[in-house]
Amino acid sequence: MNLVANFVPLILSRGGRVRRWMAVAALGGAALTFAIAYAIRGVAAVALPDLLPGWWEAFPLVVIGATVIAVAAAQLVRRLGAAAAGARPEESLAESASRIQRQARGPGIVALGGGTGLATLLRGVKEVTSNVTGIVTVTDDGGSSGRLREELGVPPPGDIRNCIVALAEAEPMMKELFQYRFAEGSLKGHSFGNLFIAAMTGLTGRFETAVSEFSRVLKVSGTIMPSTLANLHVVAEMENGQVVHGESNIPRSDQRVRRVWLTVPAPEAYAPALEAIRQAELIVLGPGSLYTSIIPNLLVPDIAAAVSAAAAPVVYVCNIATQPGETHGYSVADHMQALRRHCPGLRVDYVLSNSKVLPLGPLFPLSHLVTRGDISSEAATIVERDLMNDGFRGHHDPDKLATALQDIYHMTRSRSPVPFAKVRRRRKVVSAGASAGTSR
C-alpha cells in the first residue's frame, strides 16, 4: 500500500520526468504488440500490410520494441532509485524526484564568504541547484576554531563546518550531532563537528581531505573548500589609527575600520577554488561580515583575479543590517566603496540589496538597516528585493535570497525584459518586483 501511495503521485507529478519514460515504454510495448501480430497473422485473421516476406516483419519490431522498453525501464529505475535515495525525511517520492530534477537544471553557483552569512546563502541555493560551491575564508581565530588553530595547528574549521551542515542532506539528528557544542569539562565550547574535522586532519594529514570526508559523511549536495591553505590572520587599522590583530577582536573595537590586510602577504590560493570560479555560471560575494568574511577571501590575489576574469556574472550581496564594530552607519554605497578600496580591480556586475523596511527588533539592538546611500558612482546594476528573514530581521531569508539570485542569473541569460523588475544599467536601481518572493 505504501508503494502505491508513493508511486501514484510520482507518476502524476511533472518534475521527475517519470511520465515521459512511461510514455516511451508504452511506445515500445506498442511495437512489440505489432511484432506479435505479424508473427501470428498466418494463424489468426489479422489484416496487416506486407512489408517483408514471410514473418520477417516481426523481427525488427521485436528488436525496436525490446530496446525502447529496456531504455525506458533503465531510466525509470534510475530516476526512482535517485528519488528514493535522495528523499528527505519530510518528502514524498514525488517531491523528491521533482526537487532532484529542479536542482539538476540549476546553474553552477560559486559563493565566497564565511560565517553565518555564507551558510544562510548555501541553505537557500541548494534548493535550486545541486551544482554549488562554497569558498570559505580561513581567518577565524575565535572560540573553538581559534583554540584548535592554536593547539593543533589546523586551519579554522568552524565556518567550513557551518557551510557543510547547510548543504547537508543527512538526517536531522546527524546534522545536530555535528553542530553539538560541549557545555562543560575540558571540551567546553568545542563543537563536535570542529573536533571531527581536526581529528580527520590529523588522521589523513590534509585539511582538505578532512573537509571532503566530513562532506561525504553528511551527504553534502555541493562542495565546500577553503580559499587558501595558508596559516594567516586578518589585521585591521581603525579610524583612530589603532591596529587590531585577529578576526575575533576587530568587531570588539568601538572604532570603524579603515582598512584590513592579511598577515601573509599574497597567500597562495587553493587551486580547486580557482578552478571552481573559472567554471562558475554565477559568482556570489557575501552576504556576511564585510571586513572579516568577504574581503579576506578577496585579499588572496589569485582569488580576486579569478573572480574578475571569470565569464560568469559577479553578484555582491549586501548585508541587511549594519554590524557593530565593522560597518556601523554603512550604506550599500559604503559597502561597495570598501570593496573597491581593498580590491581596486574587482569586477562586480550586480549588487543585491534588501528593499524591505521594518524595525530590526530587540534581537539587533546595536544594528541598523543598511540604506541605499549615494550609489550614483556605482557602475554595477543595483537590484533591490525583499530579502529579510521575517523571524530574524537582521539576516537574510535563505529562500528569498536564492530566488533573487536565480532571477539575476536568468536575467543575464536572456535579453528579454524580466518579470520581477525593471533593469537599468549604470547609476540606476532595479526596484523590487511583485513576485519577489558566526558561530565559531
Residue boundaries of the structural domains of the chain: 2-100, 106-137+227-430
Nearest to 228 by CA among 207, 200, 254: 207
Mean pLDDT by 10-residue block, N- to C-terminus, for the chain (440 residues)? 47 54 64 60 53 57 75 71 61 63 83 94 92 96 93 94 91 89 94 95 94 92 94 94 94 89 96 97 96 96 97 96 91 95 94 95 92 85 95 95 95 57 37 40
Q: In whole angstroms, what is the distance from residue 207 CA to residue 215 CA?
A: 12
pLDDT at residue 89 in the model = 64
On the 0-12 / 13-18 / 19+ scale of CB atoms within 10 A, 384 is buried
Nearest to 197 by CA among 177, 182, 212: 212
Q: In whole angstroms, what is the distance from residue 237 CA to residue 239 CA?
A: 7
**What's the CA dihedral at 387, 142, 157, 399 to 10 degrees?**
-10
Contact criterion met (CB below 8 Å) for 307 and 283: yes
pLDDT at residue 379 in the model = 82
On the 0-12 / 13-18 / 19+ scale of CB atoms within 10 A, 255 is middle
Indicate the SS3 state at residue 118: helix
Q: In whole angstroms, what is the distance from residue 19 CA to residue 99 CA?
A: 16
pTM for this one?
A: 0.78
pLDDT at residue 24 in the model = 66
pLDDT at residue 214 in the model = 94
The amino acid at 98: S
pLDDT at residue 378 in the model = 78
Contacts of 118 (CB under 8 A, 6+ apart): 111, 112, 134, 136, 159, 162, 163, 286, 287, 288, 293
Indicate the SS3 state at residue 12: helix
The CA-to-CA distance between both ends of the chain, in Å, stands at 47
Q: In whole angstroms, what is the distance from residue 318 CA to residue 337 CA?
A: 12
Contacts of 84 (CB under 8 A, 6+ apart): 93, 96
Task: Determine how many CB atoms are found less than 10 A away from the CB of residue 382.
Answer: 23
The domain 106-137+227-430: what is its CATH number?
3.40.50.10680
